Structure 1
């Protein structure tokens, strides 16, 4: 009787020695806040990350000027949203290990005391036995397929989130460019308006102008000053928006030179229809939706396979009051008499239909967004051409006034008013260019592809969960 117990204890010892141990990792909010406050665009860890993404060393460091592509890569490094997406992919990949696990056998230790003792031996009935489950109908393979498709969907979600981060960085830079340009134009306009007020006030003192003329000039100067204050406030808001998109404190942008020149150029023409359709079918969210559908398909296959019962093989040894018994047999087979998993199959079929509807709805939304973005983008390009023509005319008028002033045919007031009017034309053209840039961004978002080749890859490397 001692040998079976000793064998059972030995088996338990061997099994338990391979178990994992728990290691606590408490969260310290103060340390998290401190790490956030210490983030900069000059850290050596960021430099190493950029070098890995670009395939070459970054020299000089820190960068003298940061463009949209490099800031996007910095956002990929610091973005908490991407950290969440990477962690979710890690969870999904762990699901594959769970799905591929082979069911463990069950050790049974029956123990009885017989009285009166029917045999010549000790009055004990004891001995180890095993319940070895054997899955049938490829159930384990379907579970692995389902988990693999869910892992692929989570991996593609990283790319989709990376594009969202790129969009936030791009939009923040466009807003910052617009605010800075507005500040520069409005500063010159405010100077011109103040000069106009000073000249009209002086003329009024000698009786050359009426009161309403001065009042109108003061109103125009006040409005220009209010617009300038709004532009400066918008610049600060854009800086905060950019810092949030990158995942750094606003103070981390102090002293950082930003390369915003590209936003002043007219965006490129939209790609041809074939390229647009090809880009749409490669969107990360659409591919992730297809992976979710494949997971639903595998889930349905698993539910169908559950109609076939698993086998439980039960070998064992029993010491029965002096008699040694070795058992070979089936511990049990579930008989599909009352339930043939109709409910599970019906639910899996409904979820597959739901996945089909979700994918179709997403694709319809994508194509509608693409059509709307194309129309809006083309209209914005037309508006840029019109504003450019108007700006050219305004420049000619300003040059004509300047020439007339030099020749003595126009006074300084008329020349200053022409300069103020030209600043208004420059602001209108700037607004048209910014609107075109924003429309180009919406078109890029619809395709999840840049309109022009870029010097750096704006998407995060998806083969890594952690940085």
Structure 2
């Protein structure tokens, strides 16, 4: 009987172990079936060109929530429509390749939120012992299931920190979108005024060429002196040099704007010559309306506040991490004498040498640094707005003086031209005055372009898309 019992003792546990192994294999298969799979995405030239391709579109809808600009109504950009500065700003936010790459960080932040909310997996253990000496012995086994509970304690602050960090990332990306929009708007204003400079110079060059041709014929006929014709040719050459520099600057500005819009380098830019609204920067200029609500409007300041809140939650998680690592579990065992036991256990890490003081100190120092970083950014934002408003105020005074100079020179040019026809003044004197008039007109146009760009910079620095009601624009 002993032999029979021994044989039974060796056979039945083996069958139970086989069933346990089959059950473990089934559980492993179910777990692996729910795992993520790898999908190749090679960085080939074809894939890169497809990502950079400008997709044809008949209508482009831009939602207000996408830009995080509550004052901007939904806009529709039709194919072939002339771009105003506001429309160029919106299209740049959608088409800029750098922004499209930056928005990929949103997925990383969402993945971090997912990772912060995950709990540790239970630990399953199985062991078997086969006796190799003695009689009337059976196989021993031990099955255990343990669960670490430390992550349960720190889960809430970790999730909060990840959520705040994700909001900070979204706001930081929105701030970059805001900067790109302001840059595109300023470039559009600069191009519009630059094209006005080019038209002015083209008119002057055509007029000077006609004068040079007429004077050249008179020089050949002998009733025009060499000095008169030479002065006209000199004025023509100098104006052509200035025109060439303006065209070069326009080409550079056009390439910058096309890069922001995400179009090819030779794509035509059809800009609206006349804005639907008056150009900014013509109304009252005071810093107070721009500073009101600055911390709510500036997306970078809001991102820094969210980052500070995220770090505060991370500090809470680090403090909660002082809780000792505890693992609780249950196990079922059988020894070689065929004695079965069912028990429970607990494992506790004793916080004697390391009670997370390093992580706590680092989290506190980081939070302190973020606090100072926020105050520094707020101070710099206020100073920047004051500086831009002051520069705009003085620029307006300069423009009034330049406008007066242009009127005076235009009146004087008419008088000099009449005197030149009657041979009462030297031709060189007239053409020098004409050149000075053209240069003053160019200065006035460039001051207008600078005024518009400074006004856009004020909008960007304050987080406003429109001028405050306290600053009513005068046409």
TM-score by length of 2: 0.82
The yes-or-no answer on 1:424 pairing with 2:425 is no
SS at match of 1:111: strand
1:268 corresponds to which of 258, 269, 282: 282
2:115 maps to 1:98? yes
- Aligned equivalents of 1:15 and 1:71: distance in 2? 51
Matches within 5 A, 1:292-441: 292-321=307-336, 322-330=338-346, 332-397=347-412, 422-441=437-456
SS of residue paired to 1:309: coil
2:197 is aligned with 1:182? yes
1:31-83 Cα offsets, whole Å, 9 max, x none, are 422553x416x524x62557997887958x42432212222222222222222
Per mean C-alpha deviation after superposition, the further-off stretch among 222-231 and 445-454 is: 445-454
Q: Deviations over 1:109-143 (max 9, x none)?
A: 1222234358x452x22232112111278311111
Q: Relative to 1, partners in 2 of residues 1:442 and 1:72: Cα closer, same or farther, differing over 3 Å?
A: closer
Query: Of 243, 247, 251, which residue of structure 2 is paired with 1:232?
Result: 247
> Measured at CA, do residues 432 and 11 of structure 1 come closer, stay the same or move farther in structure 2, by a change above 3 Å?
same
Larger mean Cα displacement after TM superposition, 27-36 or 184-193: 27-36
Check if 1:280 corresponds to 2:294.
yes
CA contact (8 A) 1:142 1:298 kept: yes
- Residue 162 (structure 1) shift: 0.7
Q: What does residue 178 of structure 2 align with?
A: 163
- Alignment of 1:43 with 2:63, yes or no, is no
Contact kept in structure 2, 1:370 and 1:446, CA below 8 Å: yes
- 5+ residue gaps, structure 1, are 455-467
Answer with 149-158 or 127-136: which moved more: 127-136
**Residues 126-165 of structure 1: pairs in structure 2 closer than 5 A:** 126-135=141-150, 138-165=153-180
1:25 aligns with 2:38: no
Contact kept, 8 Å, 1:76 with 1:82, in 2: the verdict is yes
**How far 1:259 sits from its partner (Å)?**
1.0
Aligned-partner Cα distance in 2 for 1:273–1:183? 35
Q: Distance in 1 between matches of 2:152 and 2:32?
A: 31
User: 2:289 matched to 1:259?
Assistant: no
Equivalent position of 2:8 in the other structure: none
Per-residue deviation at 1:400?
A: 5.9
Deviation, structure 1 residue 160: 0.6
Provide the secondary structure at the position in 1 that maps to 2:124.
strand
Q: CA deviation at 1:408?
A: 8.2
RMSD: 3.4
Structure 1 distance, partners of 2:81, 2:383, is 41
- Return the alpha-carbon distance in structure 2 between the equivalents of residues 48 and 442 of structure 1: 26
Residues 13 and 316 of structure 1: is their aligned pair in 2 closer, same or farther, counting only changes over 3 Å?
Answer: farther
1:289-331 Cα shifts (integer Å, max 9, x gaps): 111111211121111111111321111222322222212121x
3-state SS in 2 of match to 1:128: strand
TM-score (normalizing by structure 1): 0.83
> Which residue is 2:5 aligned to?
none
Q: 2:11 aligns to what?
A: none
8 Å CA contact retained: 1:384, 1:436: no
> How many Å separate the matches in 2 of 1:140 and 1:156?
24
User: Contact conserved, 1:264 with 1:433, CA < 8 A, in 2?
Assistant: no
Contact persistence 2:127–2:141 (CA under 8 A): yes
C-alpha distance in 2, partners of 1:131/1:278?
Answer: 57
Aligned pairs for 1:103-122 within 5 A: 103-117=120-134, 120-122=136-138
Aligned partner of residue 138 in structure 1, secondary structure = helix
Q: Identify unmatched segments of 5+ residues in structure 2.
A: 1-15, 67-71, 470-475
Native 8 Å contact 2:459 2:465 kept in 1: yes
* Residue range with higher mean Cα deviation, 305-314 or 423-432: 423-432
Partner of 1:458: none
Could you say which structure has the greater relative contact order, defined with CA pairs below 8 angstroms and 6 or more residues apart?
Answer: 1
Deviates most, 286-295 or 174-183: 174-183
